[in-house]
Amino acid sequence: MLEATPLGDGWILRYESDTPAASVPGCVHTDLMAAGVIPDPFLGRDETEVAWVGRRDWTYERELGDLSASVAHEQTDLVFDGLDTVAEISLDGRPLGTVRNMHRSYRFDVTGLSGRLSVRFVSAYAEAEAVRGRLGERPAAYAEPYQYLRKMACSFGWDWGPTLVTAGIWRPVRLERWSTARIARVRPLVTVDEGVGVVELAVDVERTRGEAPLTVEATVGGVRARATVDGSGGVVRLRVPDAEVWWPRGYGEQPLYDVELRLLYGEDALDVWRRRVGFRTVELDRRPDAHGTGFTLVVNGERLFARGVNWIPDDVFPSRITRARYRERLEQAAAAGVDLVRVWGGGIYESEDFYDACDELGLLVWQDFPFACAAYPEEQPLRGEVEAEARENVVRLMPHPSLVLWNGNNENLWGFRDWGWEPALAGDSWGEGYYLGVLPRVVAELDPTRPYTAGSPWSGSWRHHPNDPAHGTHHSWEVWNREDYADYRLSVPRFVAEFGWQAPPAYTTLRRALPGEELAPDSPGVLHHQKADDGNGKLERGLARHFAVPDGDFDRWHYLMQLNQARAGAAGIEHWRAHWPVCAGTVVWQLNDCWPVTSWAAIDGDGREKPLYHELKRLYADRLLTLRARDGRLEWAAVNQSAQDWRGTLILRRMSVEGEVLGQAAVELAAVGRTVARAGVPRELTPVGPKEFLVADAEGLRALHFPVPDRDVPYPAPRFDVALAPDGITVTARTLVRDLLLQADRLDPGARADRGLVTLLPGEEVTIGVSGWRTPDVRSARSALYCVEPTR
């Protein structure tokens, strides 16, 4: 049987005359921090103090000892699951090979060798600049040369991320000793055929003895089958009667089946492969219709409105992301009502831990291939690297039922057409051959069970603009960059794959990241942790359309910016969900952050939930109630994404800001499962002028409509009572209290609230659960409560 020996210990990092211990998996930055050589680049402006690290070459070393083949094993392989990025590997001075792709694994035959193992990493900058020198300039959204090598693009910085260009052995390394043959690859095709689960396992083997007769034996769901290995491969098929179907969360359960495949020489097991699979079907409906060209995911025959979030690497040093951290972040997503996670193309193919958690939680995965916001050369050796990494990762991720879509790139087709690339390239290669050639060919050959789309955004062909909202996927960024978020309501894209609004992280996250700094919107550290072009300017212009921008009151500025982010998300999602099935999904930019920063994230770099996160719980719930102006009239809409019909009474109240009910009506609400019901609001209940608003209530859900921006509403001075409650606080309103928010981290750095923004009418109360609050008291609770106040 193949034996694997981990090689995580005993490494050193060559740094001038010192040789600090190195962690494997890990990277140069984390090793230098552990040794006290560099400061934490997440704090203050120390990111700039460590920029030199990415410009140097680095060497990892350790002793391997004698690797002579024993009697029991004919061959010994040195296996790296991930090297970041360009490296020369040698053993006792003997070259083993050169690698140049962070997204691949590597294997070297070291049978009979011994001595000191050395992995010398060349600066990613040096390699990228050398490739650029050979192939010529390629345009990109950022000045850094990330498009010239196969490395996590956002390690070169992004409009939410620091520039920390890493190097290191970022995934596990081991020795594998084996004889006769080993399993080189298993490609599982998992389908459902008229209620029967079908698993087809295509097996590739590597041999030391070509004549040895081999078989493979597979088991799944109590079914066992064998097949002969013919030369270097074989196929074994299994049918599982009455297989339970895997569903996305909210649509059913997530049964998973253990699959085991053994490679046999006679009855002796030489190697074993184990995974979990789920039985389900997935299609992408892109048929043209009266509204354009659709983009609707269909799982097990059920058409879905995708309630999605974009995922970036959860740490700029991805080797630090543990299985527990993946699970925590993805459980946060599921708890917010999310059912789809898009793994964005400027990052990585995530570890098995990520996809395992998605399988278990019922989170659909949209997987980008790692290309983002740049023209990518297609010449060799890059072209060969792209195909090799695609082949490896398609097969690696195929067992996961959560994976439902392959996507060729992020914004590159759009960039070619709209960002001035086409004339600048003057005929040079830019990546189209990958997105419309190599990648769909690889997916069609290896994983025909899943759909592929060439990019996001992408209209389906060059007959339409790549970002045409009527065709395929759409990225809505004009709103954040130039317009008011109310303008989300001006169009109905077929699928909104990116949209978002910024806000600062939680107060305690900022305080930790900027120790000793007097916080202000334009203080040095706050500006350093804002990476978007004119980010604070866009924040303040966006706020000024709705609120008076606070002058000199950071706490008030911080609250209003977080409120405005939640309002922006609500404006888009409420509108687009109400237009199902024309619009078939929203994917918020973004779920998470990779460090403490002002960004579009719902969960900040320290893992704290912003108000947007809690707002997503409402926006992505199976049932959503909304009020909106349409065709010159106010309309209510009841979005019912559950399978059960929603029938009840909708109470509409026209009210004054002083709390007086000016008119009221009860109307029938009836929304069949998986549909949207809508009707006009009686004209006599339509609020008139700045002092009036409309409240809609149904079965514990509420929607509000104010006809003017908050800055024009004559809110009363908010009055409310605060009392301690078991595991939280109770707030009782004495006036209208608009968008009350408990910033729990101000009570205790480890405290979390179970809800975000809430509007209370006079006499109403709410209990906010708080966990992690070590010494509860009313005074501190009141000081951590914020709400909308009258414009001064």
Q: How confident is the model at residue 342 (pLDDT cuts 50, 70, 90)?
A: very high
User: Is the same domain home to 646 and 672?
Assistant: yes
Write down the catalytic residue from 411, 609, 615, 692: 411
Percent of the chain with pLDDT over 70: 99
Q: How confident is the model at residue 211 (pLDDT cuts 50, 70, 90)?
A: confident
- Quote the CA–CA distance of 247 and 402 in Å, as a whole number: 9
User: Is the same domain home to 529 and 658?
Assistant: no
Q: How confident is the model at residue 528 (pLDDT cuts 50, 70, 90)?
A: very high
In this prediction, residue 149 carries a pLDDT of: 97
Q: Do β-strands 495-499 and 473-476 pair in parallel, antiparallel, or remain unpaired? A: parallel
How is 285-347 classified by DSSP, letter by letter?
A: E--EETTEE--EEEETTEE--EEEEEE--SSSSGGG--HHHHHHHHHHHHHTT--EEEE-TTS
Per residue in 396-427, pLDDT (tens digit) is: 999 999 999 999 999 999 999 999 999 999 99
Task: State mean pLDDT over 256-267.
Answer: 97
Task: State mean pLDDT over 538-562.
Answer: 96
In this prediction, residue 307 carries a pLDDT of: 98
Per residue in 352-385, pLDDT (tens digit) is: 999 999 999 999 999 999 999 999 999 999 999 9
Q: Is the residue at 519 inside a domain?
A: yes
Overall domain count for the chain: 5
Q: How far is CA 751 from CA 391, 561, 597, 604, 620, in A?
A: 45, 21, 20, 15, 24
User: Is the same domain home to 322 and 259?
Assistant: no
Per residue in 575-614, pLDDT (tens digit) is: 999 999 999 999 999 999 999 999 999 999 999 999 999 9
- Show Cβ contacts of residue 24 under 8 Å, excluding neighbours closer than 6 positions: 7, 8, 9, 11, 60, 168, 169, 172, 173
- Quote the CA–CA distance of 739 and 694 in Å, as a whole number: 15
User: Is the same domain home to 425 and 325?
Assistant: yes
User: Is the same domain home to 359 and 433?
Assistant: yes
Q: Is the residue at 533 inside a domain?
A: yes
User: Is the same domain home to 365 and 508?
Assistant: yes
Q: What angle do CA 605, 610, 614 make, to 5 degrees?
A: 130
User: Is the same domain home to 355 and 218?
Assistant: no
pLDDT above 80 (res 264): yes
In this prediction, residue 726 carries a pLDDT of: 94
In this prediction, residue 77 carries a pLDDT of: 97
Q: Is the residue at 536 inside a domain?
A: yes
Q: Is the residue at 79 inside a domain?
A: yes
Range of the domain at 679: 623-714
Judge whether 736 and 715 are in contact, CB under 8 Å.
yes
Per residue in 716-762, pLDDT (tens digit) is: 999 999 999 999 999 999 999 999 999 999 999 999 999 999 999 99
Q: How many residues does the chain have?
A: 792
Task: State mean pLDDT over 179-208.
Answer: 96
pLDDT above 80 (res 17): no
- Show Cβ contacts of residue 167 under 8 Å, excluding neighbours closer than 6 positions: 27, 28, 54, 58, 84, 85, 121, 123, 124
User: Is the same domain home to 510 and 567?
Assistant: yes
Domain boundary among 564, 593, 622: 622
Per residue in 33-47, pLDDT (tens digit) is: 999 999 999 999 999
| Dihedral sign, Cα of residue 164, residue 167, residue 168, residue 170 | positive
Task: State mean pLDDT over 492-512.
Answer: 98
Cβ count within 10 A of residue 228: 11
In this prediction, residue 631 carries a pLDDT of: 83
User: Is the same domain home to 344 and 460?
Assistant: yes
Q: How confident is the model at residue 251 (pLDDT cuts 50, 70, 90)?
A: very high
Task: State mean pLDDT over 43-57.
Answer: 97
Q: Do β-strands 661-671 and 233-240 pair in parallel, antiparallel, or remain unpaired? A: unpaired
For 5-14, 115-124, 203-212, which range has the lowest pLDDT when averaged over its residues?
203-212
- Domain containing residue 651: CATH number: 2.60.40.10
- Show Cβ contacts of residue 386 under 8 Å, excluding neighbours closer than 6 positions: 150, 434, 438, 439
pLDDT above 80 (res 475): yes
In this prediction, residue 71 carries a pLDDT of: 58
- The mean pLDDT value of the chain amounts to 96
234: its two tokens: 């074989």
- Quote the CA–CA distance of 408 and 283 in Å, as a whole number: 17
User: Is the same domain home to 271 and 337?
Assistant: no
In this prediction, residue 68 carries a pLDDT of: 65
Active site residue 411: yes
- The amino acid present at 26, given as its one-letter code, is G
Half-sphere exposure of 554 (CA within 13 A, CB side): 13
Q: Do β-strands 233-240 and 196-207 pair in parallel, antiparallel, or remain unpaired? A: antiparallel
